[in-house]
Amino acid sequence: MRPRTIRDDIARAKARYLLREYNISRPPVYPEDLAERIGIQVRYHCVDDVGFSFSIKKNGEYFIFADISSNQGRDRWSVAHELGHIVLGHYELYHVDTIMCDRLTDRERYILDREADIFTEELLMPAEWIMKYTLKETELRELFKVSKEAMSIRLNKLNYQLPASQARS
Ligand SMILES: [Zn+2]
């Protein structure tokens, strides 16, 4: 089987399911903790030339190798993104790239990365939670511990109304 379409609904449903299943009911969500609870090992790598996080499946076990940058929000996003690849079954359903060889086409890789990002968005910033707050964007960002960019995109998509006091000033 090869990836053909972006499974938006499945990606979101999976994120919501995990939050429920692991009794996570308020921000911030810690993707490393969740991964460990699911049985995925998280390691921090400091390979000079590798400025990103990645995951592997080895002998039936999953590992996430997390990159640490100066941007905590970004790091949390990339760990959640790798978690997304794993829990959305990308390793099981498809012949994904390995360290040694690329097996996916660019288009297929794009599809899987989008799914992992949709999962991440829903996991770190569930729509339901965001809509409960009446806070400024900076306050929401603090609360959810995500990057400026991630929160801004999320709020735009959700059509989030800023508090009246701020909107008027
Ligand atoms: Zn990816």
Ligand 1 centroid to residue 116 C-alpha, Å: 6
- Indicate the SS3 state at residue 73: helix
Residue 69: the pLDDT is: 83
Confirm whether 117 is domain-assigned.
yes
106-113 mean pLDDT: 93
Query: Sorting pLDDT into bands at 50, 70 and 90, what band is 102?
Result: confident
The first and second tokens of residue 27, run together, are: 């921000």
Ligand 1 centroid to residue 58 C-alpha, Å: 17
Q: Which DSSP symbol is given to 161?
A: P
Ligand 1 centroid to residue 54 C-alpha, Å: 7
* Overall domain count for the chain: 1
29-46: burial string, b at 16+ Cβ within 10 Å, e else: bbbbebbeeeebebeeee
Ligand 1 centroid to residue 11 C-alpha, Å: 13
Confirm whether 86 is domain-assigned.
yes
Confirm whether 146 is domain-assigned.
no
Res 94 pLDDT > 90 = no
Ligand 1 centroid to residue 83 C-alpha, Å: 9
Ligand 1 centroid to residue 112 C-alpha, Å: 7
Ligand 1 centroid to residue 108 C-alpha, Å: 11
Ligand 1 centroid to residue 50 C-alpha, Å: 14
Give the DSSP letter string of 23-70. Answer: T--SSPP-HHHHHHHHT-EEEEE--TT--S-EEEEETTEEEEEEE--S
Query: Sorting pLDDT into bands at 50, 70 and 90, what band is 162?
Result: confident
Confirm whether 135 is domain-assigned.
no
Residue 168: the pLDDT is: 46
78-107 mean pLDDT: 89
User: Using one digit for the tens of pLDDT, what is the confidence trace for 4-52?
Assistant: 899 999 999 999 999 999 999 999 999 999 999 999 999 988 777 777 8
Confirm whether 106 is domain-assigned.
yes
Query: Sorting pLDDT into bands at 50, 70 and 90, what band is 95?
Result: confident
Confirm whether 1 is domain-assigned.
no
Please give the mean pLDDT across all residues of the chain: 90
Confirm whether 162 is domain-assigned.
no
Percent of the chain with pLDDT over 90: 68
Ligand 1 centroid to residue 55 C-alpha, Å: 9
Domain that holds residue 42: 8-125
Confirm whether 45 is domain-assigned.
yes
- Residue 64 belongs to a domain with what CATH number? 1.10.10.2910
Res 169 pLDDT > 90 = no
Percent of the chain with pLDDT over 70: 96
